[in-house]
Amino acid sequence: MKLPRQFYQPLAIGAPAPLRELPVRLERMIHFVPPHLEKITAKVPELIRQVDVVLGNLEDAIPADAKTAARNGFIAMAKATDFGATGLWTRINALNSPWALDDITEIIASIGNKLDVMMLPKVEGGWDIHYLDQLLAQLEARHAINKPILIHAILETAQGVNNVEAIAAASPRMHGISLGPADLAASRGMKTTRVGGGHPDYVVLADAVANAEAAREKFQQDLWHYTTAKMVDACAAAGIKPFYGPFGDFSDPAACEAQFRNAFLMGCAGAWSLHPSQIAIAKRVFSPDPGEVAIAQKILAAMPDGSGAVMIDGKMQDDATWKQAKVVIDLARLVAAKDPDMAARYAL
Ligand code: GLV
Ligand code: MG
């Protein structure tokens, strides 16, 4: 095990010091852009006003013969745009692919000082993070990058799920982890053909009633509950951020919203938006509900030092509900600082 003092040493002479705390940023949606398509990258200046994070996708969904064009398109887009407070991320190709090394080296060399986060797919264990951590430190030193580039892992293999705690704690560069339900389904041998969401056959049946003619009620279950919970605990314990990943059925915004909301309630900070219609869904879901914010404010106001117990509207509040209220209010303040409409609705 690496000792704490060494954990926070730069991994290359001349690389910036690793961060001890993550930057506090609102990241309700990570919006995916295919950077080889100029008609889409042309809209990025408009997009950055609507989203919290823009991600140039170089991995899956980019055809093999467009990988270089996507990398070059991402670099050109990053150079040409002032992202202001909007995060700039990229999803590179997997470490065992023919493209990963050029993705990493060319991006850091050309736009390393603009990039906030590098998303790494198909992470199997801490060793994948250690490799990228070391390489990024060498490249940061070579190219005089002044702040550490953070790593975001995708949890999308059975082995990755087994090792999620080690992945979350592998490096001070770890920003967070996203659940990748499509690759994970394949890796686990799940019998589905979808990108995220539920399945009509994954159900429990209501008990049979003797001699009853009526069809038994079916209750659809959440295929992603176990993995989301495991990921949230690993991330929270390591002080990094968990995210739900993609929802592929663009024609079903209600199901997308339900999936996002489950993730939000369980502790996730945001989700991916793959289609412009999912931006508003993520914004709505990952900004706390004004009714909840009002209750949280009441709790904080009733317990100014966070100790003791009070009754509010018949419900007991104590130190633990005070802490929950603080989570909601801290997030609401972050949203309010960015969005004057929400600030007015929160009355903060
Ligand atoms: C995302 O990359 C996924 O595989 O779901
Ligand atoms: Mg994937």
**How far apart are the C-alpha atoms of 61 and 43, rounded to whole Å?**
19
> How far is ligand 1, taken at its centre, from the CA of residue 56, in Å?
15
Q: CB of 154 closer than 6 A to ligand 1? A: yes
Which tokens go with 307? 């100790």
DSSP type of residue 124:
-
Q: Which ligand is nearest to the CA of 227?
A: 1
Instruction: State in Å: Cα 156 to ligand 1 middle.
Output: 6
Task: Report domain extents, the chain.
Answer: 4-286, 292-346
Give the separation between CA 329 and CA 292, rounded to whole angstroms.
9
CA angle, residues 53, 259, 36, in degrees to nearest 5: 40
**CA of residue 181 to ligand 1 center, whole Å:** 5
For the chain, which ranges sit under pLDDT 70?
Answer: none
pLDDT value for 211: 79
Return the pLDDT at 156.
Answer: 98
CA of 196, closest atom in ligand 1: 5
pLDDT at 348: 83
Whole-angstrom Cα distance, residue 28 to residue 258?
A: 15
* DSSP state letter for 81: -
Contacts of 265 (CB under 8 A, 6+ apart): none
Q: Establish whether residue 246 lines the binding site of ligand 1, counting it when its CB lies within 6 angstroms of any ligand atom.
A: yes
Above pLDDT 90, what percent of the chain? 95
239: left (phi over 0), alpha (psi -120 to 50) or beta: left
Reduced to 3 states (helix: H, G, I; strand: E, B; else coil), residue 312 is strand
Q: Are 197 and 152 in contact (CB under 8 A)?
A: no
Any idea which ligand is nearest the CA of 179?
Answer: 1
Q: Is the CB of 245 under 6 A from ligand 1?
A: yes
Write the Ramachandran bin of 197: left for phi over 0, alpha for psi from -120 to 50, otherwise beta: left
Distance in Å, CA 224 to ligand 2 centroid: 15
- Among 92, 97, 179, 183, the mutation site with the greatest number of ligand 1 atoms within 8 A of its Cβ is 183
Tell which atom from ligand 1 comes closest to the C-alpha of 180.
5
**Alpha carbons within 13 A on the beta-carbon side of 43:** 12
156 lines ligand 1 (CB under 6 A): yes
Q: What is the CATH number of domain 4-286?
A: 3.20.20.60
Instruction: Return the bridge partners of 151, or none.
Output: 118, 174
Q: How far is the CA of 95 from the centre of ligand 2 (A)?
A: 13
Distance 31 CA to ligand 1 centre (A): 14
Measured from the alpha carbon of residue 243, the closest ligand is 1
- For ligand 1, whether the C-beta of 240 sits within 6 Å is no
CA 78–ligand 2 middle distance (angstroms): 23
Q: By alpha-carbon position, which residue is closest to atom 3 of ligand 1?
A: 180
